[in-house]
Every structure is written in structure tokens, then in C-alpha cells.
Amino acid sequence: MKTAACALTLWLGFAAIGLRAQNEPNLIPDVVDPAKLIPILPEAPAGWAAEKAEGSSDDVGGFKITNVHRDYHKGEAADAPRASITILDSVANPDYVEATSGAWSQASETPEGYGKPVTLDGNPGREDYDKERKQASLWVMVAKRYFVTIELQNQDPKELQEWIKRVDLKKLAEIKK
């Protein structure tokens, strides 16, 4: 599940390269230190184990990004339930925030799965589910800067709601710098 977070980080960075004109001053706000976001990642629920939380701030294409991530699992079997939570501070790229969250309004449903817009505690988001791969994801935009992503493997998509409740979205919204 780290692959999705890394892909998002790279895509964000490459998209940012084209948004800044040469010799233009960088007036974009600074991202927060990962040490402030890591405590937002919850401990494992009962019966689950959690990997150590990881985080970094990187300069990608002239823009800084902060990304924190934690993996969870229930058992060691190949088909054991798994979860991951990622928080990305995207304050350095407001165009990316607008483009991504703007695309969340599209809803679709097929025999293979669904995608739908959601709102959680006033925060816009998107939920997707792939039935064949038994993979569910939830993206939530908090304070117009933080993308919170929850990815589940081998779990009912209804569990996304339980996982997002473990993340203190109000506390996250208050973190500015």
C-alpha cells in the first residue's frame, strides 16, 4: 500500500514542476514537520498490529511536501486483513488540491466495484471499492491542505468508516505549522 502513497507523492511533485514559472518567487506556504502529523496516525485497534509510523518532508520540483504513513495488519496470512493510513500535506500545491478534490464528485457503479463522493464531518472525500481485489480506499480532504487516505485489503468497504473514525480529523485541521 506504500506504493500508492509513493506514486501520489511523485505525481504531486512532477505536477508542481509545471506550475511554477521560472525565476518566479516561491510564495507558497511551508508544509508542516512530519513529527507533528505522525501522532495523528492511530494505534492499532484490538487484535491488529501496527508497523512503525514513517514520515518525511521532501523538496520535489521546487515544492515541499510532507507525507506520513502507517501500515496495519491482522494476522500474517497472505489473505489477512490489511490497512494503511497516509496523510499528505499538500499546502504547497493548491492547484493539485482543487483538481483532485474536484474530480471526486463523479459517482460510478459496475459489477466490479464502485466510486462515490462522500462527506465526513464536513470534509469532502471519495470512496472506491474493487470487488475482485477486495480493495477499498477512502480519500478525505481536511482543512483544504491535508489528504488523508485509508486503504483496506481483504475487508468489507464499510470498515473504511471505522478506520477514518480513528483519525482525529479536527486535531489534524488545527495543525498549521
Q: Residue 140 has what pLDDT?
A: 96
The C-alpha atoms of residue 134 and residue 129 are separated, in whole angstroms, by: 7
pLDDT attached to residue 2: 44
Domains belonging to the chain, first-starting first, are 2-174 (3.40.1000)
User: pLDDT digits over 118-170, tens only?
Assistant: 999 899 999 999 999 999 999 999 998 999 999 999 999 999 999 999 999 99
CB 145 within 8 A of CB 98: no
Cell of 79: 489473505
C-alpha cell at 142: 481536511
**Please, which residues have CB within 8 angstroms of residue 133's CB and are 6 or more apart in sequence?**
153
Q: How much is the pLDDT for 153?
A: 97
User: Packing angle between helix 2-17 and helix 94-102, nearest 10 degrees?
Assistant: 120
pLDDT < 70 positions in the chain:
1-29, 92
Pairing of strands 113-120, 49-50: unpaired
Report pTM.
Answer: 0.82
Alpha helices in 18-168 (DSSP H): 34-37, 94-102, 159-165
Distance CA(65)–CA(33), nearest Å, equals: 10
Give dist(CA 57, CA 153) in Å, integer.
27
Strands (E), 105-157: 108-110, 113-120, 123-130, 135-142, 146-153
Cβ–Cβ < 8 Å for 152, 86: no
Nearest to 85, CA basis, from 142, 152, 134: 152
- Please give the pLDDT value at position 177: 74
